[in-house]
Amino acid sequence: MTLLDDAVVHAEPVMGTVVSFHLYPGSGGDFEARAALRAACERLHRLDEIFTTWSPASAMSRFRGGRLRPHEVPAELPVVLELCRQARAVSGGWFDPWAMPGGLDPTGLVKGWAVEQALGLLGGAGLEGAMVNAGGDVALLGHPPGGAGWRIGIRHPWRADALACVIEAEGAVATSGCYERGAHLVDPRNGRPSQAAASATVIGPRLAFADALATALAVGGDEALELIGGLAGYEAYLIRADGTELATAGVVFS
Amino acid sequence: MKRGPVALASTAAGLVAVIALHSSPSPSPLAGGPTTTTSSPPPPSSTGSSPATTTTTALPGALLSAVGPSEQYGYGVISVKVTVKGHRIMDVTVASLQTAESYSQQLAQQAIPMLQSEVLAAQSAHVSAISGATYTSEAYLYSLQSALDRLHVS
């Protein structure tokens, strides 16, 4: 027997990446898990349709361009904008979708939020545990079979043959960094590309905020880490551009 | 270090499971190695990509390899070839890579050697998932997953 014998596993190409699901059916059984999985995937596609900035026809793109009429505003849009406002406030402005050079860009929060929504749909299926991984942004529910917790490897920014570390987590883990896509993070204070961090990880109860705060940490470095350490339930782990590391007190390394 | 059942069998069961190696609260009878695991059948793949090619032989312990379908990622198309021996991934290489512009090509060329090593390293890392900035990686792992499914590594 392996711990994975009863896992329902699925990979869904959506949101410009592949979102993978790992579900451990509990009392609800396999059938219910698969039904919830379908609902979760549909939700991700719907949210992608609304928020993608790749398509000029999406509600988000039209909103950015001032071309979205009031009656066309999807209910999800004000929700996301409010979360963005909250994330901007708690991050001390290090996360600021309104300060991006190309105009309003909530991308740093939307993926995490969408996955959080998908995980919420799985929550009603009586699962023992579930893990959703959207391109390295991980949302967790319950626990894996066997009673132990989730162990999340943090990708090493430079060393190809190693993880930077392994942490024990509940809730959500998001990592931001420049090592795969170049300097794509922007410092909201000056609109310039930022390379403050090699890798920025935030652990916390909500993936929407973990995602946004990981972006903030990648740009704000030490200063942002201190801020995040002061937020109830959130922890941060930073690999600075020079390779030195820093973590808040509550990070559980394994 | 605690060792859980290192199920490369799980690798055949799902994308994340490529890097999903679970911790266990107590030593497991399987703690010694990955080779005695069983797994539920892989779920139906949702990919509509080109069919994978498979080279198989019936000998246990023989090297088997398969090429996964071409998968789109944000900036191009990638397909991955995997070689396994028993339940262990021996090698991962890129079978094909197309990118829209040279910048992405350059980035992919930097990222891919890391991904190759990462898959091999994660086998012994006993983690549930890897968190990190990814674009190429998911397509890479998705193609890898499909290649493993073709090999019925379970």
Residues A96-149 pLDDT 10s: 999 988 889 998 999 999 999 999 999 988 899 999 988 778 999 999 888 788
The residue ranking higher by pLDDT, A196 or B21, is A196
> B1 lies in a domain?
no
Tell me the per-residue pLDDT of B61-75, one tens digit each, with 9 for 90 and over: 677 777 877 877 666
> B131 lies in a domain?
yes
Which residues of A, range 15-44, sit inside 8 Å of B by Cβ? 16-18, 20-22
Tell me the per-residue pLDDT of A235-254, one tens digit each, with 9 for 90 and over: 999 999 888 999 999 999 88
* Per-residue pLDDT, A85: 97
A254 shares contact with chain B (CB less than 8 Å): yes
Q: What domains are there in chain A, each with its CATH number? A: 8-253 (3.10.520.10)
Mutation for testing the A interface, residue in B15, B75, B109, B128 having most A CBs under 10 Å? B128
Among A57-61, A151-155, A180-184, B9-13, the least confident range: B9-13
Share of chain B above pLDDT 90, in %: 0
> B2 lies in a domain?
no
Residue of A6, A12, A162 lying closest to B46 (CB–CB): A12
Neighbours of B71 (CB within 10 A): 26
Share of chain A above pLDDT 70, in %: 93
Closest approach of chain A CAs to the CA of B76, in angstroms?
11
What average pLDDT does the segment A33-60 reach?
A: 95
Amino acid letter, residue B92: V
> B25 lies in a domain?
yes
Closest approach of chain B CAs to the CA of A74, in angstroms?
25
Please report the number of interchain residue pairs, chain A to chain B, with beta-carbon separation below 8 angstroms. Answer: 196
Give the contacts of B39 (CB within 8 A, at least 6 positions apart).
A2, A4, A5, B7, B9, B10, B12, B13, B154
> B110 lies in a domain?
yes
Residue of B9, B14, B127 lying closest to A166 (CB–CB): B127
How much is the pTM? 0.69
Provide, as residue numbers in chain B, all residues whose Cβ is less than 8 Å from the Cβ of A136. Answer: 130-134, 137
- Which residue in chain B is spatially nearest to A54 when comparing CA positions? B74
Mutation for testing the A interface, residue in B102, B118, B131, B146 having most A CBs under 10 Å? B131
> B141 lies in a domain?
yes
Provide, as residue numbers in chain A, all residues whose Cβ is less than 8 Å from the Cβ of B133. Answer: 135-136, 155, 175-181, 199
- Which residue in chain B is spatially nearest to A9 when comparing CA positions? B14
- Encoded tokens for A251: 């990070």
Pairing of strands A192-193, A186-187: antiparallel
How far apart (Å, rounded) are the C-alpha atoms in residues B6 and B152? 17
3-state secondary structure of A153: strand
* Per-residue pLDDT, B78: 78
Residue of B9, B24, B130 lying closest to A148 (CB–CB): B24
> B43 lies in a domain?
no
The residue ranking higher by pLDDT, A162 or A239, is A239
The residue ranking higher by pLDDT, A50 or B72, is A50
Which residues of A, range 75-134, sit inside 8 Å of B by Cβ? 131, 133
Instruction: Report which DSSP code applies to B24.
Output: -
> B44 lies in a domain?
no
How far apart (Å, rounded) are the C-alpha atoms in residues B67 and B146? 8
For the range B114-120, what are the long-range contacts, defined as Cβ-Cβ under 8 Å and sequence gap of 24 or more?
B114/A160, B115/B140, B115/B141, B116/A160, B116/B91, B116/B92, B117/A160, B117/A161, B118/A155, B118/A160, B118/A161, B118/B19, B119/B18, B119/B19, B119/B89, B119/B92, B119/B144, B120/A161, B120/B89, B120/B92
Domain that holds residue B58: 8-37+50-151
A249 shares contact with chain B (CB less than 8 Å): no
pLDDT-derived band at B115 (thresholds 50, 70, 90) equals: low
Pairing of strands A172-177, B53-55: unpaired
pLDDT-derived band at B154 (thresholds 50, 70, 90) equals: very low
Residue A235 forms beta bridges with which residues?
A203
**Per-residue pLDDT at A95 exceeds 50:** yes
* Per-residue pLDDT, B57: 42
Count structural domains, chain B. Answer: 1
**Per-residue pLDDT at B51 exceeds 70:** no
pLDDT-derived band at A54 (thresholds 50, 70, 90) equals: confident
**Given an 8 Å threshold on Cβ–Cβ distance, is B125 in contact with A16?**
no
